[in-house]
Chains A and B, each alone.
Chain A
């Protein structure tokens, strides 16, 4: 059996549209320094450092090489991960494996991205197969748009219901000192009137492009208990991949096969049979408003086709039965290499009771997901109780 692992500390930068005052390396150092301070540890106490990033966004290849001193990797065991949108959760899952294996006791996972250095939609378009897809594909916006029309057709979800998710996100973000987009007065009307990027996705339905970094420290049981008053235990991790072409699972939001597979596996491992009831909070990787509603269905928070009804009923508001993305989610903050790890950090903060004004009272079981272009999904479940 793998040994018990918990998250004991996190550190984030204040995410922003453009951090022109720092290089990528300096941005990473900020997050790492904060995580070490949060843990009251020094780099000497960290046995391995795992780094997650997507180079095509900055055009800076092999950050694990040229920024090694900035992220505390000098002469340490370390690996760089590069798995698209999921890279943050992949790095977290890897950190869990490193510690659970018994080989390393304390491991730091780092995620970062400086979207402002490159062109996000352009880089995402290179994810499209060069021979079959790239000349048609229009970045993440285009992908979500074509998926959203299918989803709306299948489920009856409306643009208005999707807009509610967009409003929830930017209002929740006002309670999160690290969030990029904070819009206390945003309304459904504002979202519906915002610029149409690609039908049905409007500007306010879509996530921003952010510069930001996050670091999360994982420790084995005895260290975790000693170092953190309330560690966030990793109760389950799961990863699943899809078929590779965009059109292979054409109902990509209506039926997110990799999310269904990964979440069911994680629920089973963690002994969860009714996620809506048994999860106290979820930090999910929702790139766009429509995706959030689809994820409710695919995660089993409600029946197929009922995603719109769930948000109408207020179930996923901060005050609802199952708060989703109290941090403001991806729709408020999206430095892609960091984003999925931010989900993990935010879920951990909830368990640890350190989520400040966005704290869900009494959170004992939290879900974090990572999303990689529909092609793959990571799921992590954190609990207050030792697994």
Chain B
């Protein structure tokens, strides 16, 4: 029932990744793609991530088992033919739950990462380029978000907006949008600080001076000359952010902010499994591996992207 929103986001997200952030000039797109392909691990990761995405989108057709059927006679069973990933402590099929949970985790993870990166880079870049006054104001905002205790803030958001969002966007869609906005909206600050620090350093470099002397506008300086050189830490932060968002999603559902408790996600399965870790390790193993594999592939893709987009690298 939750399929449409998360699924389409994931499906779109994967192929878009290798596209460069810059506008093409002398076809840097093709150039970047050529460089990206030389990075074997990144290409392999892209394939694996695409497979995971296809798996969670089309999996329910291949493995048409209900995610919520309770079976007291099959509680906490290890992997078997009937349940390839085993069952949890209500006898629910873990493979089906992990496939379904993947839609939420991948969708939320990637979407929240994009929100955090977009907000973080925008504010960081403005702060790094603008006047001292604007910089001070934006840093105040960043510091404030860093200092806010998140739990009361989240409770306040639930209290103020949950019902309105539910009415506006429908149960599933509303929750999805809210989670993405909340996670992204609370995690952009490190990116802002990173981008700003890079800008402070880069804006004094010779090549920027040169471009400035040639009369490049501030916008052009920012987009064409400084930002591409500041991307290294952004890509690292973005790929770490996916892992954080997947975990954060499960935390949110414990606050009643996330999806209803009977809807699985990878982070939630992992959390539920922790108390039975010593006698039913399979429960945690598959959800933990799914998160790990996703994070791993996204990070390698990030590495590949970084190499491909690095304007200083000549290959």
Q: Do A and B come from one complex?
A: no
Tell me the A residues contacting B by CB distance below 8 Å. Answer: none
Tell me the B residues contacting A by CB distance below 8 Å. Answer: none
